[in-house]
Amino acid sequence: MTNPRTPHRRAVIDVGTNSVKLLVADVSFDSVEPVCEFASQTRLGSQLYSGMTLSKAAITRTAKAAAAFASKARELDAGEVRIIATSAAREASNADALAAAIRNSTGLELTILEGHTEAALAFYGVATDPRSQGKPLMVIDVGGGSTQVTAGYATTVLFTKSLQLGAVRLLETLNPTDPPAQADLERCRSMIHSVLSTGCKEELSKALAGLPANPESFASGGTASVLAAMHLRLTSFDRHQIESVEFSPTDLTQWVERLWKLPIKDRRLIPGLPPERADVIITGVAILAGAADVFGINKLRVSTRGLRFGALVR
């Protein structure tokens, strides 16, 4: 009989609205020890929201990145390689074309996650951190096309919600000037507050009341990790340092105000911010700030774990 605590090397390729990401890790029970992590920005969701169709160019870029990551996972002797897709694939009318392209390039079958599953996996991923295990948690996972909100404790998820509110989606909807005007920011904040308030605030409050103690609040996803790297002025990825960051509502508001005043050429020069994310960072951080405000979060910790970590243990 296989011992569940014996490490097994697994890999997951995450096809998101903004980026394709690879995680190869040694997994035992609910422990995930990363071996390697890579990301490639393919903007699968670019121009999706005008007609809900993935462009051929975006599909080609994404399938090519997935093929490279599948090869890397096999090179690292991953015994199991899983490929999942989220918001853009979930909503696109031609998701079958994406699945076919990925099947042809990788030999793998694409699993398109439902919103509630994506939210739950983000929670389980954050919970793999030994500092979080067994504790009541609330997780805000901001992606390119959607934002997932989850609450629970230990291995029990009490609340999940996937909202059509993401950094790429919001940026393309707003189409702000460069630098953004104050009116663009006000419109952004209004849209965020509307979605969060009507989409899940009341339900979330009821779920939080059912937790055995006040939850620790975490932000996961690319926006959160990048913002922490910017906060620390990091020039390379450092999980320990990034996960030491805690944002207050004031911290988040200050970052929003700073970023929305800068033209994209100046945002590209900010230490810790990958230049290719200089456009979507303004809407991603605004979503985090809006969540802290609407949900009354006083301290938002950053987790580099999330969907991919959860996909390896579930």
What is the CA 114 to chain-centroid distance, rounded?
15
Distance CA(310)–CA(313), nearest Å, equals: 5
Tell me what pLDDT residue 30 has.
73
The total number of structural domains that make up the chain: 2
Reply yes or no on whether the pLDDT at 3 is more than 60. no
CATH number at residue 76: 3.30.420.40
Cα-based angle 79, 83, 84 (whole degrees, multiple of 5): 140
Sign of the CA dihedral with 173 first, then 279, 116, and 157 last: negative
Confidence class for position 203, pLDDT limits 50, 70, 90 = very high
Provide the pLDDT confidence category of residue 1 given band limits of 50, 70 and 90: very low
What percent of the chain has a predicted confidence (pLDDT) above 70? 98
Residue 5 confidence (pLDDT):
66
Order of all β-strands in the sheet with 110-112: 31-41, 19-28, 8-15, 80-85, 110-112
How far is residue 83 from each of residues 53, 109, 112, 160, 254, measured CA to CA in Å?
A: 21, 7, 9, 22, 37
Q: Is the pLDDT of residue 306 over 60?
A: yes
The label of the residue with tokens 């620390």 reads: 232
37 and 160 belong to one structural domain:
no
CA separation for the pair 170, 59 (Å, rounded): 21
Check: CB of residue 217 under 8 Å from CB of residue 300. Answer: yes
pLDDT mean over 199-209: 93
Last residue of one domain, picked from the residues 66, 84, 112? 112
Could you report the per-residue pLDDT of 13-61, keeping only the tens digit for each? Answer: 999 999 999 999 999 977 899 999 999 999 999 989 989 999 999 999 9
What integer pLDDT is reported at residue 4 of this predicted model? 55
Question: What is the mean predicted confidence (pLDDT) over 229-246?
Answer: 97
Q: Are residues 90 and 137 in the same domain?
A: no
Rounded to whole angstroms, the maximal C-alpha distance in the chain is 63
Q: Which amino acid is it at 249?
A: P
Residue 171 lies in a domain: yes
Same domain, 158 and 95: no
According to DSSP, the β-strands at 136-142 and 216-220 are: parallel
Residue 288 banded pLDDT, cuts 50, 70, 90:
very high
Contact 6, 29 (CB under 8 A): no
- CATH value at residue 210: 3.30.420.150
Q: What gap in Å lies between CA 110 and CA 14, rounded to an integer?
A: 10
Q: Quick one: 97 and 163 in the same domain?
A: no
> Average pLDDT of the chain?
95
Provide the residue range defining the domain that includes 298. Answer: 131-313
Q: Both 154 and 102 in a single domain?
A: no
- Are 45 and 180 members of one domain? no
Distance between CA atoms of residues 60 and 35, nearest Å: 27
Does some domain include residue 265? yes
Instruction: Measure the CA–CA gap between 228 and 241, rounded to whole angstroms.
Output: 9
Give the C-alpha separation, 214 to 229, whole Å.
27
Q: Does 94 reside within a domain? A: yes
CA distance 121 to 221: 12
Residues 56 and 170 in one domain: no
* Tens of pLDDT, residues 134-166: 899 999 999 999 999 999 998 899 999 999 999
Last residue of a domain, one of 85, 112, 139: 112
